[in-house]
Structure 1
Amino acid sequence: MTDHHEMTPTTVKDFLLALLGGLAAPLLAISMIVGLVVSIQARQTDSNPADVSDQEVRERIQPIGNSVAIDPNKPHIDMTGEQVYTEVCSACHGSGALGSPKFKDTAAWGKRITQGYDTLLLHAFNGIRKMPPRGGEPDLTDLEVARAMVYMANAGGAKFEAVLQKEVEPTAAELARGKTVYAENCANCHDTGVTGAQKLTDPAWAGLIKQGKDYLYTAAIKGTFGGPAKGGNDQLSDADAKVAVDYMVNEAKAALAKAPAAAAKK
């Protein structure tokens, strides 16, 4: 005898639930696609003004470097104080940035002018507080630095004249003594360059020599550049430390003088 099963009649409610269930997945997919498209368009929208965007594009397409042809045989002509100020110093002194005395600010310069020409020149050479040595331009000559300092100081009320004190050249006897002191106290580092010490043939001496002998004497006696005071010999006299500096500077100058000729020959 065959069993007879009757199907339950479909109600309107059942039909609606089935319809909604079938549409749920496609609707979810469509909403996700729309959201993705909207987010992509939002990221591509340029929020910067047209001129800012144009400037950013120009900066991005700037060449990596500029080729500048310099004639090594052309004699150097020192710039005037005004020229040095315009090209180097005005970046800070023009606005008073980093606490620097603003150009023509007599109140700010007055406090410094009272310290005297020599002190201000020393600060210009070696740097002070946030100002780097030589205003951050190591290629400036001593006279260019002096002229720039005088130009600014005089605009602030001083009556300085850009003059340089010529350093006294050591005698042959002093250089001989300096060589001995160097061999006994300095050679271990400066002959090899260990601990970052400048070898006597290191081109970095060009920048150090520009700082002046007084600066180098102080560095040798008190210790700086990562080296110990008096080469680590507390018993060494200040006078011997100075003649050692004289010897090193003399040797470094000789090496620097030979460098261009050697490069040309090569």
Structure 2
Amino acid sequence: MTTATSRTLTESGMGTVITLTGDDRAPDAGSDTRTPLTALTALGEEVRTAALSGGCVLVKGLDLDEQQFQTLVHAMGRTVDHKFGEGQADLLKLNASHDPGKVVTGRGMLPLHTDGLLVGERTDLIILYAHEFSDAPGSGETFICDQLAAWAEMPDHLRGPLDRAGALEYLVEERGYFPNVPEDWYAVPSVRDHGRVRSLNLALNFPAGTATRGWQVRVPGLSPEESDTFLGELDAYLREPRFTYQHRWSVGDLVVIDNQRTLHGRTAIGAGGTRVLFRGQITL
């Protein structure tokens, strides 16, 4: 397996596309389609370097089973300490569940957010791989925000409330996925710095009228109406096209996201859509 890098993914300069130029389906013992361990390890190291440099990486045309995906995840670093109610840090299946109580692994949209924020778990890299995907354009897509560029250009009327509050408050509603967080509202700092990069640390609100939400968020010191207005304006700003890449999945796509440099979310999955992504999480 050999690779070549090319364009960025946003006007702000975020992202790298890695193109496979060799045989990513070279035979391995016991199978005629398995990618060799050495190739997966080399790819993992290359993707990790590119993600930490550019914010996110797209690789197309891979053919991975669950074990190969886990091997690729472990090639990128140490997995996070697992604190969720489903899956593991090296393999969680985002399977578009039809269970109406599921949010993170369900079919609704997910707003822009930082992985690990609600459970207090540092996550540096998020690895997503499309195992199955079939949906209408615009559905089940992942959007990624270059939050460092957005924060650097953020107007005072959006930066000010974040600076003054210092933290946002959250109420987790999907208790099955987040079983160990406080049951009432609790505060999480809106900025983090783990020594690598200083960045925003937040999860925005679900749209008004959403029947099943993973969480609620509010700005302390503001009325509910003022908080909702502010968070809506912040969301619209962060999702402006120059900061945002929205990925339409194809089977075999790998997207690796630097969770410190970006925010991410997903569009709702269509009623007849199929979407199974493997997800891994790495801490440095």
TM > 0.5 fold call = no
Between Structure 1 and Structure 2, whose CA radius of gyration is higher?
A: 1
User: Which is helix-richer, 1 or 2?
Assistant: 1
TM score, norm. by length of structure 1: 0.29
User: Which is strand-richer, 1 or 2?
Assistant: 2
TM score, norm. by length of structure 2: 0.28
